[in-house]
Structures are given as structure tokens and as C-alpha cells.
Amino acid sequence: MGETAHDRGFRTPVKKVLSLTAPLEGVTIKGWVRTIRRGKGVTFIELNDGSCLKSLQVVLSTDLENYEEASRCGTGACLSVTGDLVPSPAAGQNWELQSRSATVLGAADSDYPLQKKRHSFEYLRTIAHLRGRSNTFGAVFRIRSALAFAVHRFFQERGFLYVHTPIITANDCEGAGELFRVTTLPPKDPPLTDGGHVDWQQDFFGEKTGLTVSGQLQGELFATAFSDIYTFGPTFRAENSNTSRHASEFWMIEPEMAFADLAADCALAEDFLRWLVTYALENCAEDLTFFNERIEPGLITRLEALAKAQFSTMTYTEAVERLEKSGRTFEFPVAWGNDLQAEHERYLTEEVVGGPVFITDYPADIKAFYMRLNDDGRTVAAMDLLVPRVGEIIGGSQREERSDVLVQRMRKAGISPESLSWYLDIRRWGSCPHAGFGLGFERFLMYITGMENIRDVIPFPRTPDNARF
């Protein structure tokens, strides 16, 4: 690695120092104290700067001018240390830093909440402003960052155009009524129509608006100009479900391909997931090893198998038959026409298939209006990808490109065609078969880290009753 801005009188990241193969004099490290042990005539500090899981051992000798101050800076303090990197006699580490000078940039009170012991994830959520300084959350957020980059790389290398779809929107793409309202009308006495309803025409945008639940509809518009496109951005859902896999604000990746059918859509989803998993195995080995040891034993073997596996496919109708024949009693009844619940999804992916499975061709009545109606007239070209432990990780479909069928489906779903005239326009002028899907980035991170709660893979989770930090 060449000299970087970090090296030039600034600081050297711990990750870089730990990868050195020869001793080095005069190196400056800055970071936060994980542990501090004052011994006789010497103090040992584990200094971590978040660049990697490991901390660097810093040795403070009593010769330091400010030894008293530095050796009592406290767990959590921020230090800058300059010294020489020498081979460490201690087990489990190659190098330690013999300090020549140390500056306490920010001392820490003794009530610093992240002391060296195991804390529960529930507790760590209450100190989300600090949890990035723990091993687990350091690893989670490094993987999150690496995989966000990987998402872009996958699509950019394949010629997909990245489109920024709007956050504020007047349409509810999924039609589930889960929009967070965006308004500047006074909550107390909003202007009313003659009929006594809130007069949204007088609102900021001159109509009723909210935060987007999906960038898909605008993504489709771009696919009919740029062929292959993707979005990657925050989405918002005001669904009041307090589960370990629902967040009110989450990030979604939504590719959309012109000239693609459902089979091509599934093929892209499969390639994408396998590619991301392979990327993580190759580029995030230290953090994955940590998850493998501390969070989910067998994780790496599972991911390696996934990177090579062929995903299974099963129609919804077949899935219902399998569930009916299972001999299980589920909390929610199984019947053709009912949506699959988390318990059904997990049974299918964990017990029937034992791996990822696409469920395709759902009943039209339980899926969104934009999905293409199959020739049987009662199912749509939809797919959900289910994976063990997490359940649904991807939802996608071939889109209805036939204007007349689409209008009928909208009417049936209670959506006025006028309100989506621009969406219908692309069916009038150069319509084409197209398909896409949405991958929930947090669900994917749960799958790849073994973390069991969505609140623990997003920096500052938003869930019902919680928007702290």
C-alpha cells in the first residue's frame, strides 16, 4: 500500500499497522480505549479505531511525561499515541506499540457504559450512540458498508443504471396503505373541504403526499428508457408490526429489467445473492469469522454452500399443498388464497427445501396491482425468495405491460387510473415486457451475519414507538 493522507502526520489505521510484516518506528495511532490495565511500571491499553475487529496493544511506560494522566484516561477514552511498532511477546498478536508519547484527546468518566463484559443486544440498543465501539456492532457496520459497495459493483459491472427515485411521493406503490404522511398543514385546524375532509389541495405539494414505500414505479419508467436499472435507497413503511424483521425505515435494492420475464427475474436474484455472499466471504473474512464464532456457529459453512447452491423453485399452489400435507398445526390457517405467513415461509425454506426457495405465481388477489396476470386469470407472475431463519428476503414480479389488463387490475384494487396516468403512459408508448424485484438490505444483512433482530443491523433503527438517536 502506498502512502496515504492518513500516514502523512495524521494517523495510521490499526488495520494497516496489524498487516505490516516488519517493525516500524515512529507511527501514530488514534483510537478509543477498549481496555486498560495498569501494572507495575507499565500500562497496557487495547486501542481500537474501528478499521478492523482487532485492537492494537499499546504499551505506556512510566517514562512518559504524562504517564499518570494517560494511564488513568479510562475505558472509552480517545487517545493519540506515537511510538514504535515492535514484535509482541504476548500471545495472539504479532505487534504492539511501544509509546514514545501519548495524548489524551478525550478522557472518559468511569461510568462509561461499554465496559469489557458481554452486554445484551437489547441493552446495546439503548446505547446505540456507542454500540459501534463494541466488537459485534463494529463487525455489523463494517459488513454493511462493504456490502453496500458490493451492491453497486454488481450492478455497475453489468451495465445497470443507478437511478435515484424520489423519497417524497404521492403514490402508494404496494397499495397497502402504509405511507407515512408528509404535510405542512397545521395538525390542529387543517383546512377542510366542503365535505369536512382535510383539503390536501391546500397542502405543500397541492396533493396528499407521503414517504415512499418503494421506488419501483419510477424504476419502471427508467427501465423503459435505460433497459437495465436499479435503485438503492431508504424506504418507509408505517406498518405497525413489532417483529424482529420489520423496520419502519429500511433500505431496499430494486433492479428493473426491460425485456425480462419472471424466469429472468429469478435468475438475476439468484446471481445477485450468490455474488454478494461470495464477495463477503472474500472481503469480510475477519468479521465473518467473528460471527461464525460468536453469533451463529456454522455460518461460514452455510454461506459457502449458498455461494454454490442452485436455488429451488415452487409455485404458490404447490407450496400450499406441501403445507396442507405437512401434518403441522400452524397459527394461521393454510388455504389457497391466503397469504403465506412467516411461520409458513419458514417451514417451506427450512424444513421442506432446506435452503433458499422461490415461491412463484401467487393468487392475484393477495398481490399488488402491477404484477402481470397469468393466463389462468387468477394468479400473477410474482416471486418471493425465502431463506432459512429470515423468511422472505426478496419480493419481485414480472410487471403488467398490457394497458387494458393493468387498468382493470387498478380498478379492482381501488386505485384510480388517473392518479397514475404517468405509469399508464409507458404502456401506451413503447410498452414492453419487464420485471424486477426488491431485496431488503437489512434482511440480507441478518442472513449474512446471523444477527436475529433487524434492529441490530441498521445503525439507528426506526420501529413503532422508537425514533431515538
Residues that bind ligand 4AD (CB under 6 A): 173-174, 214, 216, 237, 239, 246-247, 250, 252, 254, 392-397, 436-438, 440, 442-443, 454
Least CB distance from residue 128 to ligand 4AD, whole Å? 17
Q: Which is nearer to Mg ion, 94 or 241 (CB)?
A: 241
CB of 332 to ligand 4AD, least distance (A): 18
Choose the one of ligand 4AD, Mg ion, none that binds residue 393, judging by a C-beta under 5 to 8 angstroms depending on kind: ligand 4AD
* Nearest approach, Cβ of residue 396 and Mg ion (Å): 9
Shortest distance, position 463 Cβ to ligand 4AD, whole Å = 9
Beta strands 95-106; 56-61: pairing state: parallel
d(Cα 135, Cα 287) in Å, to the nearest integer? Answer: 9
What distance in Å separates the CA atoms of residue 422 and residue 416, rounded to the nearest whole number?
12
C-alpha radius of gyration, the chain, whole number: 27
Please identify which residue in the block is written with the cell numbers 419508467: 221
In the complex with ligand 4AD, which residue's Cβ is closer, 191 or 464? 464
CA triplet 315, 305, 348: central angle to 5 degrees?
30
Which of 101/240 has CB closer to ligand 4AD? Answer: 240
Cβ proximity of 381 and 397 under 8 Å: yes
Residue 335 has a CB neighbour count (10 Å cut-off) of 9
Q: Which does 138 bind (CB under 5 to 8 A by kind): Mg ion, ligand 4AD, none?
A: none
Shortest distance in whole angstroms from residue 372 CB to Mg ion:
16
Cβ nearer to ligand 4AD, comparing 356 with 440: 440
CB 372 to ligand 4AD: min, Å: 12
Of the candidates 170, 146, 379, 175, the one whose C-alpha atom is nearest the C-alpha of residue 285 is 146
Cα–Cα dist 206/184, whole Å: 11
Torsion angle of the four alpha carbons 99, 102, 105, 110, in this order, in degrees rounded to the nearest 10: 80
Nearer to ligand 4AD, 31 or 433 (CB): 433
329: cell is 398445526
Choice between 173 and 319, CB closer to ligand 4AD: 173
Instruction: Work out how close the CB of 245 gets to Mg ion at its nearest, in angstroms, rounded to a whole number.
Output: 11
Q: Which is nearer to ligand 4AD, 176 or 405 (CB)?
A: 176
- Residue 56 burial class via C-beta count within 10 angstroms: exposed 0-12, middle 13-18, buried 19 and up: buried
Of 11 and 367, the one with the shorter C-beta distance to ligand 4AD is 367
Residue 13, contacted partner among ligand 4AD, Mg ion, none, CB below 5-8 A by kind: none
Find the binding residues for Mg ion in span 368-407 (CB under 5 A). Answer: 395
Q: How far is the CB of 241 from ligand 4AD (least distance, A)?
A: 7
Closest to Mg ion by CB, 342 vs 407, is 342
* Bridge partners, 435 (sequence order): 257, 398
For residue 183, what is its C-alpha cell?
404535510
In sequence order, what are the beta bridge partners of 17?
none
Residue 49 binds which of Mg ion, ligand 4AD, none (CB < 5-8 A, kind-dependent): none
Out of Mg ion, ligand 4AD, none, what residue 438 binds, judged by CB under 5 to 8 A for its kind, is ligand 4AD
- Residue 200 Cβ, how far from ligand 4AD at the closest point, in Å? 24
Closer residue to Mg ion, CB minimum distance, 211 or 213: 213
40: helix, strand or coil:
coil
265-270's contacts with Cβ under 8 Å and 24+ in sequence apart are 265/383, 265/396, 265/397, 265/398, 265/435, 265/436, 265/437, 266/311, 266/313, 266/358, 266/360, 266/383, 266/385, 266/396, 268/437, 269/358, 269/383, 269/385, 269/394, 269/396, 269/437, 269/439, 270/311, 270/356
Closest CB 197 distance from Mg ion, rounded Å: 31
Q: Which position's Cβ is nearest Mg ion?
A: 395
In whole angstroms, the minimum distance from the beta carbon of 166 to ligand 4AD comes to 14
Q: Which does 216 bind (CB under 5 to 8 A by kind): Mg ion, ligand 4AD, none?
A: ligand 4AD
Instruction: List the single partner that 237 binds among ligand 4AD, Mg ion, none, CB under 5 to 8 Å by kind.
Output: ligand 4AD
Classify residue 321 as left (phi > 0), alpha (psi -120 to 50) or beta: alpha
Q: What residue has cell string 404458490? A: 316
Question: Backbone dihedral region of 151: left (phi > 0), alpha (psi from -120 to 50 degrees) or beta?
Answer: alpha
CA distance 54 to 56: 7
Closer to ligand 4AD by CB, 79 or 223: give it.
Answer: 223
For residues 59 and 375, what is the distance between their CA atoms, to the nearest angstrom? 73
Q: Which stretches of the chain bind Mg ion, using CB under 5 A?
A: 395
